[in-house]
Amino acid sequence: MATGIGSLPYLSAAPALELIFNSIPELPHWPQLPAAGDKEGLVRQFLSPLLERGLVIEAAGRAPYFVAAAKDWLALLTEFYHEVLEHSTQAAIDSFAFPPEVAAGYYAFLKHLQQEGPGPACFLKGQLTGPLTMGIVVTDENMQASFYDHDLREVIVRSLAMQIRWQARSLQQFGLPVLLFLDEPGLYGYGQAAFVGLARADIQECLHTLIDTAHEEGVLIGIHACAGIDWSLLFELPFDVINVDMYNYFTSLLPYVQECGSFLERGGILAWGIVPTSAEAEQETAASLLSRLAQYQAQLAAKGINEAALQKQLLFTPSCGTGTLTTAQTTAVYRLLQQLAEHYQVKYL
């Protein structure tokens, strides 16, 4: 099947939903609409629970930041953890829901499903920002990335865990399996000189907590990471799906073929980000991308990865979100996704 990453360039949900349900009806996702306003941005969209509780504030000229030096910080933190520890109650989980003004695409997606039904959908996909990305963007009061602070990092993870619970339950109302993606462009910083303080153990611990939360809620969880990274960091974790930008960074996967093979042996699904999210989408065809796919699968099989697993345990996605593209380029991307899924199913299924 094919699905999208999340963002689209539209100002309203209607054209985004039309494109999604027409192009990738088996695994539709709700659309993020960053062009509609800053509140729908990659990080800001999932920051509302911390802003509403006064743990994080926004100020002109700087990134959102934790107010850990405030006199009432301990009281705010205590109340926050009291709510988090009540995660078994629906009321507590509902308090971490999207405000309508930050996720118009999400509520339009739900309305569409309620009115039209899921149609041929086999899964529903949701997404949220990953803890590392949020922890890099949101700072402490001294403008240092909050991810480096254990206590602040824990607040981020616990907030995202509650949002996973809410989004999972919200999407499960339609009776279909749910797949959630963590969008983690911040992973590119791991191993870079500018982020020398990022510890592998800290990153994996945060991600593991969110994986466990998703599995407790009975949903699958995947991760999307931009560019080429140390893929072993993700293959070592119990993700159900790992998304790689194969179009631009396939070679970044080659040093980790053993870990990738083990991931597939455990039943993991490799999501092939093989449709470019650039002007190149208007030059590529399903045939050219399928040829590229076959070439890449052959390279991985030659290095010892089970070929049948490579051919069966896969999804097609764009290389990244389409929020920065033109609407014509976005249409080309989703048309290619549709054609890839259709042609591949005919060939192998």
Q: pLDDT per residue over 216-248, tens digit each?
A: 999 999 999 988 999 999 999 999 999 999 999
Which residue from 190, 171, 187 is spatially nearest to 179, judged by alpha carbons? 171
How far apart are the C-alpha atoms of 58 and 63, rounded to whole Å?
7
Q: How many secondary structure helices (H) and strands (E) does the chain include? A: 14, 8
Angle at the Cα of 165 from the Cα atoms of 52 and 86, rounded to 5 degrees = 70
Average pLDDT over every residue of 56-74 = 95
Does 159 have pLDDT greater than 90? Answer: yes
Does 194 have pLDDT greater than 80? Answer: no
Helix axes 13-23, 327-348, angle to 10 degrees: 20
Domains of the chain: 13-348 (3.20.20)
How far apart are the C-alpha atoms of 325 and 303, rounded to whole Å?
35
Across 70-74, 186-190, 337-341, least confident range: 186-190
| pLDDT for res 279 | 93
pTM (predicted TM-score): 0.95
Does 129 have pLDDT greater than 80? Answer: yes
3-class state of residue 126 by DSSP:
strand
Q: Is residue 198 within 8 Å of residue 189, measured between CB atoms?
A: yes
DSSP assignment string, 306-345? -HHHHHHSEEEEESS--TTS-HHHHHHHHHHHHHHHHHHH
| pLDDT for res 128 | 97
Q: Is residue 289 within 8 Å of residue 246, measured between CB atoms?
A: no
Element (H, E) at 288: helix 286-302
Does 278 have pLDDT greater than 70? Answer: yes
Q: Cα dihedral angle (332, 338, 341, 344), rounded to 10 degrees?
A: -70
Q: Which two tokens stand for residue 248?
A: 């631009």
| pLDDT for res 248 | 96
- The overall average pLDDT reported for the chain is 95
The string of pLDDT tens digits covering residues 313-348 is 999 999 999 999 999 999 999 999 999 999 998 877
Q: Which two tokens stand for residue 91?
A: 């009321």
Average pLDDT over every residue of 199-203 = 95
Q: How confident is the model at residue 349 (pLDDT cuts 50, 70, 90)?
A: low
DSSP assignment string, 49-103? HHHHTTSEE--TTS--EE-TTSTTHHHHHHHHHHHHTTTTSHHHHHTTSPPGGG-
| pLDDT for res 87 | 79
The string of pLDDT tens digits covering residues 116-125 is 999 999 999 9
